[in-house]
Amino acid sequence: MKAANKKTISCYVLIILHFLLGIGAFIGGGFLILAPNGSLLSMPLSLLKYSSFHSFLIPGIILFLALGVYPLLVAIFLISEKPFPVAEAFNLYKNTHWAWIHSFYVGFILIIWLTVEIYILQGIGIVHVIYMFLAVAIQAVTLLPSVKGHYTY
């Protein structure tokens, strides 16, 4: 990493987007784990009628980890820029900090999550549109030259 390379506003925007996604999914997934019947989020089990799930436990765990914990970790490491060997193993761009490409991965995970959720629910709501916008925003900001340039060695 370039020693005098200060974070740009775009870098901070990306970090904020990850925190917004991560905190929401951490809380939502946590509520689904604590009450797999969906009662804490006023979600009836009938929402799962087109899925292979009988409760919200497994979707809650996936939401909690993949879209809660993971984006929060990415955000923390986008701030600190510290190494993390396990994550580095999945870095396709060895000349960039691992959190940069993992930021892009978070966007893909969110797009996949939303696509599956829309399929299972057999419908789309405003929340899906908002989160799809968030997914695209995370990927777009990740690809900005100022962001990639900051995280390039």
Over residues 22-37, the mean pLDDT reads: 98
| C-alpha span between 115 and 95 (Å, rounded) | 32
Over residues 98-109, the mean pLDDT reads: 98
The CA–CA distances, whole Å, from 46 to 31, 57, 116, 129 equal 17, 14, 16, 22
114 near 149, Cβ under 8 Å? no
Over residues 17-21, the mean pLDDT reads: 98
pTM for the model? 0.94
| C-alpha span between 139 and 107 (Å, rounded) | 6
Is pLDDT above 60 for 124? yes
Over residues 82-103, the mean pLDDT reads: 97
pLDDT band per the 50, 70, 90 thresholds, residue 4: low
Q: Taking the domains of the chain in order of start, what are their residue ranges?
A: 9-81+96-151
Is pLDDT above 60 for 136? yes
DSSP string, 80-103: H----HHHHTT-S-TTB-HHHHHH
Check residue 47 and report its DSSP letter.
Answer: G
Q: Which tokens belong to 43?
A: 């979600």
pLDDT at position 5 is 81
Q: What share of the chain has pLDDT > 70, as a percent?
A: 97
Check residue 142 and report its DSSP letter.
Answer: H
Mean residue pLDDT across the chain: 96
